[in-house]
Structure 1
């Protein structure tokens, strides 16, 4: 199978997009380190999948906005599986705030998880991958970074992820490490449940393909970026948004 024996670490694995990506890779034979801050959601995901998937899954509780926690998660992965081939940085948060009324705490949390957390995961994964001479780093941004249609902290954090990808892809290429970002449009995940229904319909109306994305749409692109089929692709931000916006 395409990901047979690959070692893949996936953050935000307890629900939504991350959970779907865990399922996709494990079913394709990968050994997966499923990482989430919520131990209950994470345990439920791993328990559900361990009965039928081809690869192995381990659950790691971690806070990706804290560097020590990220280092421990990656060390646990390498200790268990011996290497790290792919990291997929899915974990993200948001809140509905107008710019003027955004509390400092909300700004710090969204930037801390979505941008700083992605940076920390990329940095610590790259240290392992450099010693191996290979690896694939896959980040998750958002079409909101392109359109500005969303809370300022969320749009800023996701735009930062795209810039981070371009920079570190250049720096890490000589080490055999590829870095790319998937840029989803509105996708059916638990995060969307907090958005008012009329806003959701407006999003769908703005998508030329006429539907919201599904988590599996993102998982399939992650699968492509994680394998040798994309071996000459790095530093790219790939829009998966039904034609809602272009990069």
Structure 2
């Protein structure tokens, strides 16, 4: 089963300093029929304007991944971590029994990021924080596994059984979907034909009971997808 999710049908928010597109129910966007997809609870496409951001706030029992699309993000947390990340770089946080952090755009240009929340396999797991500064060539016309489970091979490992891939591509690519696995796909930039359905910048797609993901670029593409158990 393939379900296209046009960006026009997603939740929207504009707080002045922050413009968001909500793939799932979040903040003021309430849709009881759209709470999560498998273990994927939140996927927000955020634009944080210059010299603003998320001030210090708490999280617990959630695995949070930030994928930077454009601009830069500066992170600080109660574990003593502090760093700035740019396009294609990834930050992750397994909040465990609780952590405080801030995420700000201290630059003079807009920051665009995908904020991804994953349900952990259980509550109260040890807190984790980390990042990885992937290079553009790592995702050029190939799938880059930016996040995996603890048993996976990605430099970034979280507790949940998921794999997150990104690519910037201008030629066709295929990905095998194993039995009892499913995919949530995001067209970050560009335009492509995905399994016979056209997606444009900001659109998404659910793939359930499919055995292959087939990407045929129409324009230069930047994509992300999350592969997980059903």
TM-score of the aligned structures, taking structure 1 as reference length: 0.31
Higher helix share: 1
Q: Which has the higher strand share?
A: 2
For normalisation by structure 2, the TM-score amounts to 0.33
